Amino acid sequence: MKKGILYGLGAYLLWGFFPIYWKFLHHVSALQVIGHRIAWSFAALTVFILLTRQWNGFRAAAFNAKAVRLYTISSVLLTINWLIYVWGVNSGFIVETSLGYFINPLISVLLGVLFLRERLRPMQWLAVTLAATGVIYLTVVYGRLPWIALSLAVSFGFYGLVKKLAPLSSLYGLTLETAIVFPVALSYLLFVNFKGQGAFLHEGGTVDLLLAGAGIVTTVPLLLFASAARQIPLSMIGLLQYVAPTLQFLIGIYLYREPFEPSHLIGFSIVWLALVIFWVENFLANRVPVQPIPELGEG
């Protein structure tokens, strides 16, 4: 279990430091960055599956009409999420992107109520209501709806909803998702390169390495997370998931000096309070009851 915690922590730490990586590519359009991320991720995942001799298993599981239909939907949602995230980071909205991943668990719970007929307990309703209050407050403070945060939370929430119905493992699922959008990504990259607007092979070796490396930085935390998910309880994963947006939040404020006023802190604090209530209530509700020790003579 200790190794599983380290794998999970490693995955969320890498995801937490993502803004720094994408900032090195701030001069490249978000569409091109995502095109390369999809293309190189597909290449890296395919190589990994081949090297680990999982191709036959992947082909048997993925090459059917139901899987392709479901993963076409999830691939579109994931591409939208990636695009908004990279654009938000490189446009100076790291703090707002972190808000999206803070409220994502609550959005996921709400989607479960709406689409899977799940029922919320009273304290869960309180957490969702508090989170909504925090978003409304930040809308007033910002003078606009925090659409980046909401778009990230909703797109990833729906992505999780589709994945809940999907049959494949994380590795096979992401491989199929990137395979589905790979032709579109490659066509776009070839088009911008033909137009003389492509960054790859035109802006120096460092940019080329960073664009190609997008596939590695996408797949490594995924594989760490997949290993962690098999070894540690879901409650532990639920706690670790807040490492990434917390790091992103701190990076946005202290490394890139994004504006964060006391009024913003109030809105974020309301959301954080909602998360604390949600996590504590969920932990208590799913705690395994301690069995009483039999008295002498019982049993």
pLDDT digits (tens, 9 = 90+) for 232-252: 776 677 778 889 999 999 999
pLDDT tier at 292 (50, 70, 90 boundaries)? very low
- Does any domain span residue 236? yes
Query: Does any domain span residue 66?
Result: yes
Number of domains making up the chain: 1
Residue 74 located in a structural domain: yes
Parent domain of 167: 2-284
Query: Which residues are CB-contacts of 189 (< 8 A; sequence separation ≥ 6)?
Result: 32, 35, 36, 39, 198, 200
Does any domain span residue 293? no
**Is residue 289 in some structural domain?**
no
Whether 1 shows a pLDDT value over 70: the answer reads no
Q: Is the pLDDT of residue 152 over 90?
A: yes
How many CA atoms lie within 13 Å of 259's alpha carbon, on the beta-carbon side? 6
* pLDDT value at 151 more than 90: yes
- Considering the chain, what is the average pLDDT of its residues? 89
Of 104-118, 242-256, 280-294, give the range with the top mean pLDDT.
Answer: 242-256
Query: Is 295 inside a domain boundary?
Result: no
Q: Is residue 299 one of the residues assigned to a domain?
A: no
Across residues 108-131, what is the average pLDDT?
88
Which pLDDT band holds residue 266 (cuts at 50, 70, 90)? very high
Integer Cα distance of 37 and 180 in angstroms: 14
pTM: 0.89
Residue 291 lies in a domain: no
pLDDT at res. 234:
62
Q: For residues 41-52, give the mean pLDDT.
A: 94
CB 274 within 8 A of CB 127: yes
Measured CA to CA, the distance from residue 34 to residue 22 in angstroms comes to: 10
Segment 183-195 shows an average pLDDT of 96
Supply the pLDDT for residue 299: 45
According to the model, what pLDDT value does residue 109 have? 85
